[in-house]
């Protein structure tokens, strides 16, 4: 597996983002994640975006983090917000999400972020299990979905 830093609007990132949005729609029955994201959110030193490529150079997983500090959406100074973690269906169950998460945590730590935070939903039990097994604990709700009943927020010190 080859992890590469790419812009959030890179064609492979757009392709995988479309796939994850379709999965959100399938699970939640809405239009996908409506959180506003700007490609500049994922440019160093304020964040990063990674894609994992398989041996045939196909994009198979994605994830990024963006800098967050204290704001009116519930973030705290030093937060790195995890966004768009996704593994294509054919590659699931191989530890790829865990490796992506570790790479993103290390990158955020190196950028001086104090904790990684994320928001997921009750209809993504696999994601919740992954994050809990990697040391994430429930935290105060934050972000666009902080008032949604299905929303679950987690944090881990870096």
d(CA 61, CA 32): 18
- Tens of pLDDT, residues 3-40: 999 999 999 999 999 999 999 899 988 766 778 899 99
Does residue 153 sit within a domain? Answer: no
What is residue 106's predicted lDDT score, i.e. its pLDDT? 98
For residue 70, what is the DSSP state?
S
Work out the pLDDT band at 143, boundaries 50, 70, 90.
confident
Cα–Cα nearest to 28, from 127, 95, 98, 94? 127
Q: Which domain holds residue 96?
A: 2-118
CATH number at residue 112: 3.40.630.30
Domain-embedded: residue 145: no
Over the stretch 87-118, which tens digit does the pLDDT of each residue have? 999 999 999 999 999 999 999 999 999 999 99
Domain annotation covers residue 144 = no
* Residues 6+ away with beta carbon under 8 Å from 29: none
Residue 89 lies in a domain: yes
- Could you tell me the two tokens for 75? 């973030």
Q: Please report whether residue 14 resides in a domain.
A: yes
Q: Element (H or E) spanning 98, and its range? A: helix 96-110
79: Cβ contacts below 8 Å, ≥ 6 apart? 67, 68, 69, 113, 114, 115, 116, 117, 155
**pLDDT (0 to 100) of residue 79:** 97
Considering its fold, how many domains does the chain have in total?
Answer: 1
In tens, the pLDDT along 28-76 reads 887 667 788 999 999 999 999 999 999 999 999 999 999 999 999 999 9
128, part of any domain: no
Residue 40 lies in a domain: yes
Q: Output the pTM of the full model.
A: 0.94
SS3 122: coil
Cα–Cα dist 73/134, whole Å: 25
Specify if 96 maps to a domain. yes
CB-based burial label for 142 (10 Å; 0-12, 13-18, 19+): buried
Of 98, 103, 88, 85, the closest CA to residue 135 belongs to 98
Local confidence band at 157 (pLDDT 50, 70, 90 cut-offs): very high
Instruction: Give the model's confidence band at 1: pLDDT under 50 very low, under 70 low, under 90 confident, else very high.
Output: confident
């Amino acid at each position: 597996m080859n992890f590469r830093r790419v812009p959030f609007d890179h064609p492979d990132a757009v392709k995988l983002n479309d796939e994850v949005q379709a999965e959100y729609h399938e699970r939640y029955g809405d239009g996908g994640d409506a959180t506003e994201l700007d490609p500049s959110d994922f440019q160093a030193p304020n964040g990063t975006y990674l894609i994992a490529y398989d041996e045939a150079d196909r994009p198979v997983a994605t994830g990024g983090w963006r800098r967050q500090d204290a704001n009116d959406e519930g973030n705290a100074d030093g937060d790195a917000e995890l966004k768009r973690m996704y593994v294509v269906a054919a590659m699931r169950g191989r530890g790829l999400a865990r490796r992506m998460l570790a790479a993103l945590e290390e990158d955020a730590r190196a950028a001086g972020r104090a904790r990684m935070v994320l928001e997921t939903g009750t209809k993504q039990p696999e994601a919740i299990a992954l994050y809990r097994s990697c040391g994430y604990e429930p935290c105060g709700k934050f972000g666009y979905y902080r008032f949604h009943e299905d929303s679950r927020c987690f944090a881990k010190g870096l």
